[in-house]
Amino acid sequence: MLLRPPPPAVAAHPVLAVVLALCSAFLYALAAALQRLAAGRTGDRRHDGRSFFGALVRQPVWWGGVGSMAAGATIHVVALGLGSVTLVQPIGVLALVLALPLDARFERRVVTRAEWAAAAVLVAGLGGLLALAPHHPGGVPAPPAGLVGTVVVAAVVLAALVATSARLRAGSRAVCRAAGAGLCAGTTSGLVRPVLHGLHRGPLDPGLVTAGVAVLVLPILGLLLLQTAYRDGGLDAGLATQTTIDPVVAGTIGIAVLGERFTGGPGGAALAAGCAVVTVAGLIWLIRSGPGSTGGTGGAVTPRAAAAGPTSC
């Protein structure tokens, strides 16, 4: 009896992956601006979680944001199937830059020079990461133990973030929950490619099943956490934190579990680390320059909300 050879792996197309990732970033930016707008219309930020989410689902603009996020996520999954995690994921940071003019238009304000300068620093760091990222994914299938371990670690860290956020005030709570949303997004992105390739090649194993369940559940948890982050901290704190954590988590999974490496060996990894520092510096600058900061002019978080204690959600 002859054994059938396994089907070939999905072919990599780095250029197409980048184009799709850019489209996904725009849709994510539109989703963030619409969802933040909806969260700002819910009124008192201190009411309980059930009332908050009930107010959200009654707004068509929020459902428009959800639809845009779903479309962006679908395109992002296709991009991850065509390129490496460390190539595709950093492009998602552009969602924050693209969300700036969208949010400013919805809020009828002008994007400041400081915001654009911070965005330029962010893009410079991102460009370095893209130049050093591998254009082809690792050729070794992810081990089942690595996939299960990734899900377990993500679940433990996420539970710790949610528990900690319940004891924080509004601004810090927003950052903490946005970090949880970034963890959900980054873990999902890191696991999508091995799940797609595992389903393509077969057979199913415990690692693939665990990762598949995580890919279905984590985006929902991330969506809920991000809404509360927008409510408590506005677009700047919520989206900036989420887009910082997301590629860091996904890149860590790509290197530690999927066998991806930066171009240039250890030297390239050091340069990538430097570019990551520049990217994070740009993000922090952007947070502090935005309208939700203490130096802004139209804060997303009112003084009363900033002084508020923990809420039920």
Q: What six digits make up the tokens of 196?
A: 């797609």
pLDDT of residue 302: 40
Other beta carbons within 10 angstroms of residue 302's beta carbon come to 12
Round to whole Å and give the CA distance between 128 and 232.
33
Sorted by sequence, the CB contacts under 8 Å of residue 225 that are 6+ apart come out as: 162, 177, 178, 180, 181, 184
- Radius of gyration (Cα) for the chain, nearest Å? 19
Tell me the whole-structure pTM to 2 decimals.
Answer: 0.76
What parts of the chain have a pLDDT lower than 50? 1-8, 45-46, 294-312
For 232-253, the pLDDT digits (tens) are: 877 767 887 888 788 788 878 8
Dig out the tokens for 187 from the structure: 């873990």
What is the per-residue pLDDT for 292?
56
**And the tokens for 274?**
């430097």
- CA angle (268, 79, 248) in 5-degree steps: 45
pLDDT at res. 300:
42
Question: For residue 205, which of 137, 275, 144 has the smallest C-alpha distance?
Answer: 144
Per residue in 132-161, is it b (16+ CB within 10 Å) or e — as a string?
bbbbebbeebbebebbbebbeebbeebeeb
C-alpha span between 173 and 169 (Å, rounded): 6
Interatomic CA distance for residues 185 and 126, integer angstroms: 18
